[in-house]
Amino acid sequence: MGGRIPVHVHAPDAITRFGLNAALGQCAELVPVEWERVAEGTVVLLAADAVDAQLLRAVRELHARGCTHLILVTSAVDEAGLRAAVEVGICGVVQRDEVSPSKLSQTVVKATQGEAAMPAQMLTMLLNQVSRLQHGVSTARSTRLTGLTARETQVLRLVADGLDTDEIATELSYSSRTVKNILYGVTSRFCLRNRSHAVAYAMREGFI
């Protein structure tokens, strides 16, 4: 494959599968692969109309194959669905009406680099959840939750704001390597799958 990123399309119907594979075929850095060739390191596009039991089963099966770079392709998702998707390991979202070779390429590359990639309005939904959780966390609970350092909290808040590694490094005057190490420390310590999962976990527990 010559360094090209393998991408598998998991779709409920042949037309959607064909369309996404056709778009992937126009991306020089990506190569579509069939189910038989899905392995650790494969990026998977999960086409679904909702975050439901069927999607969650597919995610579990993909995790069993070592796939951690999962991107949801959907027409719409509400706050509950978005949070559920992030918590099970979805690291990117592409809206169906925005699907294009360049959009898929950008999102796939970000996924392999550990970045979260989703539309601005979805990031806003996550931020709204952060605000509500912050408002609802009691002082007693806040003093109990000491699982994150101040530095880790800063970084996760910026991830929640939609900043990528380099932008976070600039904002905090850290090196990009330091930011990556901080995020790796959080995800490994709490057994989280990726940055998006780390943000969702921190939101749920009241860390940020």
- Same domain membership, residue 90 and residue 162: no
DSSP 8-state code for residue 2: T
- Same domain membership, residue 107 and residue 158: no
> Minimal CA–CA distance to 71: which of 26, 28, 36, 24?
24
> Minimal CA–CA distance to 74: which of 109, 108, 100, 98?
98
CATH classification at residue 137: 1.10.10.10
Taking 60 as the threshold, does the pLDDT of residue 133 lie above it?
Answer: no
- Same domain membership, residue 167 and residue 150: yes
pLDDT digits (tens, 9 = 90+) for 28-59: 999 999 999 998 889 999 999 888 888 888 88
- Measured distance CA(43)–CA(90) in Å, rounded: 11
> Distance from CA of residue 161 to its chain's centroid?
14
DSSP 8-state code for residue 4: P
β-pairing, 43-47 vs 30-32, is: unpaired
Q: Which amino acid is at 19?
A: G
Mean pLDDT (whole number) for 98-124: 84
Taking 60 as the threshold, does the pLDDT of residue 143 lie above it?
Answer: no
67 contacts 44 by C-beta, under 8 angstroms: yes
- Same domain membership, residue 146 and residue 65: no
pLDDT band at 145 (very low <50, low <70, confident <90, very high): very low
Question: Could you tell me which residue, 139 or 24, shows the higher pLDDT?
Answer: 24
pLDDT digits (tens, 9 = 90+) for 51-93: 888 888 888 888 888 888 999 999 877 777 777 787 778 888 9
Quote the pTM value: 0.64
- Read off the tokens for 162: 């939609």
Cα angle 113, 108, 104 (rounded to 5 degrees) comes to: 150
Domain range for 50 is 5-118
- Same domain membership, residue 111 and residue 27: yes
77 contacts 90 by C-beta, under 8 angstroms: no
Structurally, the chain folds into a number of domains equal to 2
